[in-house]
């Protein structure tokens, strides 16, 4: 089965600055694929190259197996949804949606029919004759999507579409976009810096930093099995321990750190004596009474601060001069809130932590 979109060793340089470095990705038909990364990581450049507004310096972009080199944005089977939506303010909602069809010479009747069909799909029936400035932010968002879907693109490209919406609306739109994608079965390529969005909506995520892809995987893979220190720290919260590997076998290893020897997974097979980083997420700690007898990776430290955030209780632990440890306890009503200054005993299972080669973090 040919994939919908292939990026093959795509590189983009501007004079000396490298915006995109040797990116290769295969996106399947009907997939919801996200590029996740901080500002300046190259994800916007990739999107503009896919849509045809910029040409890659090296490499190929293939749509359904066909190389898109030299094909302008108006001739590609992609549709782009801009960050600021770029709806046409002087046209009605229906005219906006049907614009792609008008440009292709469709009759007024066919245009109207398609517009009404899509207005139903985005749950705005009867809004055809309204003007753009009469719509709310979320409604404009949906009209922009309808306008792009009207030309029946093979791939829909979304440029951080939810970044200008408020929190509640963003959460609502996340679910809407996901369900829309499932219903229309159009391949979505989504770029964002918000990891919650990427993890919640996507089938697969590509985490990017400085023009390079750090890791491609499902949301679970990215979160539970980060491949690089950048992914481990950019996605979610993570504690980082620095140290040297002292022993390793069977895919596990021991790291000598400021908090003593810690055992964790060693997927990269880092040898003894090598410097490395150990990552363990705040929510994977067992606290005080919940630490099983004979557990590995037990740490005793003093509570520096404890912050109640509703869903979770975030505790900062300190020991000597080592960097603080972040522990997140879920607010299940059964644990006493740790008091600052008190000693606390925490532990984590070796399978929940990972040792990776030293590299740049987020």
**Which residues sit at the interface with another protein, rule CB under 8 A?**
51-53, 72-75, 78-80, 82, 84, 86-88, 90-91, 99-100, 103-104, 147-148, 151
**Run of H or E residues at 298:** strand 298-308
**Interior angle at CA 79, CA 82 and CA 69, nearest 5:** 110
Q: In the complex with another protein, which residue's Cβ is closer, 144 or 198?
A: 144
The minimum distance between CB 89 and another protein, in angstroms, equals 8
Note whether 145 and 96 are within 8 A (CB).
Answer: no
The minimum distance between CB 137 and another protein, in angstroms, equals 16
**Residue 168, number of CB atoms within 10 A of its CB:** 9
Q: In the complex with another protein, which residue's Cβ is closer, 47 or 346?
A: 47
Question: Own/partner pairs for 107-114, CB < 8 Å, 24+ apart?
Answer: 114/150
Q: In the complex with another protein, which residue's Cβ is closer, 100 or 350?
A: 100
The minimum distance between CB 5 and another protein, in angstroms, equals 16
The greatest distance separating any two alpha carbons of the chain, rounded to the nearest whole angstrom, comes to: 76
Q: In the complex with another protein, which residue's Cβ is closer, 59 or 73?
A: 73
Q: In the complex with another protein, which residue's Cβ is closer, 84 or 136?
A: 84
Cα 291 to chain center, whole Å?
33
The minimum distance between CB 148 and another protein, in angstroms, equals 8
Partner residues linked to 67 by β-bridges: 62
CA-CA distance, 162 to 159, in Å (whole number)? Answer: 9
The minimum distance between CB 334 and another protein, in angstroms, equals 52
């Amino acid at each position: 089965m040919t994939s919908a979109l292939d990026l093959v060793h795509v590189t983009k340089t501007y004079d000396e600055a490298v915006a995109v470095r040797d990116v290769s990705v295969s996106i399947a038909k009907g997939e919801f694929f996200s590029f996740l990364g901080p500002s300046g990581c190259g994800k916007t450049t990739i999107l503009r190259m896919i849509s045809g507004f910029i040409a890659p310096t090296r490499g190929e972009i293939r749509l359904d197996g066909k190389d898109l080199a030299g094909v302008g944005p108006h001739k590609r089977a992609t549709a782009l949804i801009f960050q600021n939506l770029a709806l046409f303010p002087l046209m009605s909602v229906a005219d906006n949606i049907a614009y792609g069809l008008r440009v292709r010479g469709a009759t007024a009747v066919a245009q109207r029919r398609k517009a009404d069909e899509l207005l139903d799909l985005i749950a705005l029936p009867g809004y055809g004759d309204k003007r753009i400035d009469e719509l709310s932010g979320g409604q404009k968002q949906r009209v922009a999507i309808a306008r792009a879907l009207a030309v029946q693109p093979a791939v829909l490209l979304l440029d951080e579409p939810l970044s200008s919406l408020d929190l509640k609306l963003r959460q609502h739109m996340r679910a809407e976009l996901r369900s829309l994608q499932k219903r229309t079965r159009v391949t979505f390529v989504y770029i964002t810096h918000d990891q919650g969005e990427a993890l919640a909506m996507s089938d697969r995520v590509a985490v990017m930093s400085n023009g390079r892809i750090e890791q491609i995987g499902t949301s679970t893979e990215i979160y539970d099995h980060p491949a690089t220190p950048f992914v481990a720290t950019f996605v979610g919260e993570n504690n980082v321990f620095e140290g040297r590997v002292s022993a390793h076998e069977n895919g596990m290893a021991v790291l000598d750190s400021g908090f003593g020897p810690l055992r964790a997974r060693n997927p990269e097979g880092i040898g003894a004596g090598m410097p490395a980083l150990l990552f363990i997420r705040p929510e994977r700690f067992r606290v005080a009474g919940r630490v099983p007898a004979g557990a590995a990776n037990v740490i005793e430290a003093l509570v520096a601060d404890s912050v109640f955030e509703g869903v979770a209780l975030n505790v900062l632990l300190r020991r000597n001069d080592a960097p603080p440890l972040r522990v997140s306890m879920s607010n299940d009503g059964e644990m006493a809130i740790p008091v600052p200054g008190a000693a606390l005993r925490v532990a984590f299972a070796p399978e929940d932590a990972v040792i990776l080669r030293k590299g740049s973090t987020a």
